[in-house]
């Protein structure tokens, strides 16, 4: 139920749009009017020139996008807990050939002090050259960077001839959590490259690579194709984005997920043996469960036992999570 937002269905408006575009001939590989429209909708979210490329999943959005901004002898600096570092089976190392240098973090968030040591490597051919700082928004621990925090990292990044990448697999949940627009959170703070996620928030499959530095990104369209990520019947990806951006469906979905997470957090506090480990900013809750509860509920698909040695479980709410789901879950736990 709260295993992952990946376990959810597709929002009915998204599926409806897919059905609507299912007529007539459309040029393949993105040369169709739906893709043009979805691209323009995406661009209109930001007051900046952007290049937008659709892809299928978060791993490819991260890797294909970064491939356009860096060389193999450079490095990506990120929190040890970042998805590109721990959950993509080394896709970045394989495809780009670069090193990921991880730093300590606070519930998934990093700061520029922890990065300064890498500046000593600049110009020294024995070390990968620091080029990208990558942050996740929301982080993998459910925390959310404030615009000020992002701007501080972006300024540091640019001061040292580097670029800032944001892995936005749950970008809508972050925007809703902060109560600000995508533009304020991303373009205004100085993010150079964004992986804009849709799949986890009610789409079927679809992420967007958005470059805020079209003048320096090196030909993402060739990289996407060579990277095996170009979809032929692209209209079915673009249709999802149209539905997702129309009438701010993304906001409604993320609001539902976030507020259900708040409700879930509140109700979990009713069980004294359970300790919530994070500030619940968005749609993820990490909590320490007693062994007895885990033994009885581990096979019921309610949550993911993330750190078995420490009895810490992860719960993720989704666009279609409801208070009733929470109540049912809490009832089960209280048994």
- Which residues in the 205-244 window bind a second copy by CB under 8 A? 205, 218-219, 221-233, 236
Nearest to a second copy of 140, 188 (CB atom):
140
Among 270, 301, 310, 327, binds a second copy (CB under 8 A): 301
Positions in 26-45 near a second copy (CB under 8 A) = 26-29
Among 40, 44, 49, 97, binds a second copy (CB under 8 A): 97
Phi/psi for 148 (5° steps) reads -65, -40
Q: What does each C-alpha distance from 260 to 2, 9, 24, 174, 293 come to in angstroms?
A: 11, 17, 40, 15, 22
Nearest to a second copy of 108, 190 (CB atom):
108
Q: How far is the CB of 19 from a second copy (least distance, A)?
A: 6
Q: Report whether the peptide linkage leading into residue 138 is cis, meaning its omega lies within 30 degrees of zero.
A: yes
Q: Taking the CB of residue 206, how many other CB atoms lie within 10 A of it? A: 24
Q: Calculate the dihedral angle through the C-alpha atoms of 208, 214, 219, 222, rounding to the nearest 10 degrees.
A: 20
Stretch that binds a second copy, among 13-21, 133-141, 173-181, 277-285 (CB under 8 A): 13-21
Interface with a second copy (CB under 8 A), residue total: 72
Stretch that binds a second copy, among 25-33, 141-149, 158-166, 326-334 (CB under 8 A): 25-33
- The residues pairing with 29 across neighbouring beta strands, listed in sequence order, are none
Strands 284-288 and 304-307: unpaired
Q: Taking the CB of residue 281, how many other CB atoms lie within 10 A of it? A: 21
Q: What is the C-alpha separation between 310 and 291, in angstroms, rounded?
A: 10
Q: How far is the CB of 23 from a second copy (least distance, A)?
A: 6
Q: Taking the CB of residue 233, how many other CB atoms lie within 10 A of it? A: 14
**Does residue 199 interact with a second copy by CB under 8 A?**
yes
Q: How far is the CB of 122 from a second copy (least distance, A)?
A: 11
Among 41, 56, 274, 294, binds a second copy (CB under 8 A): 56
Nearest to a second copy of 173, 189 (CB atom):
173
Q: How far is the CB of 182 from a second copy (least distance, A)?
A: 22
Q: How far is the CB of 259 from a second copy (least distance, A)?
A: 19
Positions in 121-180 near a second copy (CB under 8 A) = 125-129
Among 33, 36, 47, 90, binds a second copy (CB under 8 A): 90
Residue whose pair of structure tokens reads 């580097």 in the numeric block: 162
Q: What is the C-alpha separation between 313 and 294, in angstroms, rounded?
A: 9
**Does residue 319 interact with a second copy by CB under 8 A?**
no
Stretch that binds a second copy, among 89-97, 143-151, 172-180, 285-293 (CB under 8 A): 89-97
Q: What is the C-alpha separation between 132 and 158, in angstroms, rounded?
A: 10
Nearest to a second copy of 26, 154 (CB atom):
26
Q: How far is the CB of 306 from a second copy (least distance, A)?
A: 11
In the chain, at which residue ranges do the beta strands (DSSP E only) sit? Answer: 51-55, 74-79, 99-103, 129-136, 163-168, 193-197, 207-211, 275-276, 284-288, 304-307, 312-316
**Does residue 63 interact with a second copy by CB under 8 A?**
yes
């Amino acid at each position: 139920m709260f295993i992952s937002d990946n376990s959810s269905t597709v929002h009915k408006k998204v599926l409806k749009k897919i059905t609507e575009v299912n007529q007539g001939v459309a040029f393949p590989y993105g040369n169709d009017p739906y893709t043009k429209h979805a691209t323009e909708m995406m661009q209109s979210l930001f007051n900046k020139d952007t290049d937008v490329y659709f892809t299928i999943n978060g791993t490819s959005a991260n890797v294909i996008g970064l491939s356009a901004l860096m060389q193999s002898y450079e490095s990506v600096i990120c929190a040890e807990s970042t998805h590109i570092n721990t959950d993509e089976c080394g896709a970045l190392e394989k495809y780009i050939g670069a090193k990921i240098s991880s730093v300590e973090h606070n519930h998934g968030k990093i700061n520029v002090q922890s990065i300064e040591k890498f500046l000593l490597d600049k110009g020294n051919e024995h070390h990968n050259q620091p080029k990208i700082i990558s942050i996740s928004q929301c982080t993998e621990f459910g925390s959310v960077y404030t615009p000020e925090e992002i701007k501080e990292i972006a300024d540091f990044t640019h001061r040292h001839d580097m670029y800032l990448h944001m892995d936005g697999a749950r970008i809508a949940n972050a925007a809703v959590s902060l109560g600000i627009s995508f533009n304020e959170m991303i373009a205004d703070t100085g993010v150079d490259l964004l992986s804009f996620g849709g799949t986890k928030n009610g789409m079927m499959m679809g992420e967007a690579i958005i470059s805020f530095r079209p003048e320096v990104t090196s030909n993402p369209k060739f990289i996407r194709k060579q990277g095996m990520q170009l979809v032929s019947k692209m209209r079915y990806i673009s249709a999802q984005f149209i539905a997702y951006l129309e009438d701010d469906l993304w906001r409604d979905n993320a609001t539902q997920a976030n507020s259900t997470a708040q409700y879930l957090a509140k109700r979990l506090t009713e069980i004294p043996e359970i300790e919530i480990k994070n500030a619940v900013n968005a749609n993820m809750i990490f909590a320490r469960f007693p062994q007895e509860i885990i033994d009885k509920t581990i096979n019921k698909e309610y949550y993911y036992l993330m750190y078995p040695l420490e009895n810490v479980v992860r719960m993720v709410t989704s666009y279609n999570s409801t208070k009733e789901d929470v109540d049912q879950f809490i009832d089960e736990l209280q048994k």
